[in-house]
Structure 1
Amino acid sequence: MNARPSVLFVCVHNAGRSQMAAAWLSHLAGDRIEVRSAGSAPADTVNPAVVAAMREVGIDISANTPALLTYDAVATTDICITMGCGDACPVFPGKRYLDWQLPDPAGQDVASVRTIRDEIKALVEALIADLTDGPQPR
């Protein structure tokens, strides 16, 4: 792994779970970890309930755009974290893969998305502790 590890979050539409995970990791880890997200079949926009739920915790992802998952994105990352993308995520030897089983926020209201958001935050905090000397105080 590089001195500054890279993490790629992948879900199908890159409009909910992977967007929240990337936003939490960027927010909590700062520049200590390179953060990207992508989807195997990206949506046109980020889920509005996800944008609203993240805004509630002071993180603005309203300008984010879902991105297409590419082989290069996986090949150039240290850790690939999937969230319901199934077999669409390419596998490369020597990469670390994690699969976070999380409900899909698609079609859910903000109240339901809050629970997913908070679960993702806890997973991201554990990931930061695993990859660094722990979370930085904010």
Structure 2
Amino acid sequence: MSESRPSVLFVCVHNAGRSQMAAGFVRALSGGAVEVRSAGSMPAEHINPAAVEAMAEVGVDLRGEQPKVLTEDAVQASDVVITMGCGDACPYYPGKRYEDWKLDDPAGQGVEAVRPIRDEIRTRVEDLLASLGVTAVSVPSNR
């Protein structure tokens, strides 16, 4: 069997802001070295437009993403589960690495308020990748 990539699942309530930004950063910064999923306990209909705009500013395109419902299969298939305020809705499985990232919720916020949340998520994702032994690649900026 070939060496498998580490897999990470980001979970928040609506899967429309924080978890989507984190997943976008993992996809961009890992260069495909990490399998990434995101989901919500109560997914919204659309991704937060301010989160899409804030990520586009740093060269990460979330326009094609959709909020997804959290499933037990997604948790079981992931090595690391990062929760962002999903409370008791997050299933727990022994043997998984769990982290809870306390982050402000970008819901209903403008892009100015979302930028510092985005930057905090990027820092945490870079630390997460380092802990997985993955060297972050540079993300081109579209500015």
Equivalent position SS for 1:7: strand
Cα offset, 1:136, TM superposition: 3.1
Cα offset, 1:24, TM superposition: 0.4
RMSD: 1.1
- TM-score, length basis structure 2: 0.92
Deviation track 1:72-122 (CA, whole Å, cap 9, x = no partner) reads 100111000000001100000100000000000001110010000000000
Task: Give distance in 1, aligned partners of 2:72 and 2:32.
Answer: 24
Instruction: Identify unmatched segments of 5+ residues in structure 1.
Output: none
Cα offset, 1:4, TM superposition: 1.1
Q: Which runs of 4+ in 1 moved over 3 A?
A: none
Task: Give distance in 2, aligned partners of 1:43 and 1:36.
Answer: 16
- TM-score, length basis structure 1: 0.96
Identity of aligned residues (%): 61
> Alignment length, in residue pairs?
137
In structure 2, the residue matched to 1:14 is: 15
Task: Give distance in 2, aligned partners of 1:133 and 1:25.
Answer: 10
Cα offset, 1:132, TM superposition: 1.4
**Residues 10 and 133 of structure 1, relative CA distance in 2, 3 Å threshold:** closer
Task: Give distance in 2, aligned partners of 1:3 and 1:132.
Answer: 13
* Between structures 1 and 2, the one with greater helix share: 1
In structure 1, the residue matched to 2:30 is: 29
Task: Give distance in 1, aligned partners of 2:14 and 2:138.
Answer: 32
In structure 2, the residue matched to 1:94 is: 95
In structure 2, the residue matched to 1:73 is: 74
In structure 2, the residue matched to 1:122 is: 123
128-137 vs 67-76, which moves further: 128-137
Cα offset, 1:70, TM superposition: 0.3
Task: Give distance in 2, aligned partners of 1:3 and 1:74.
Answer: 17
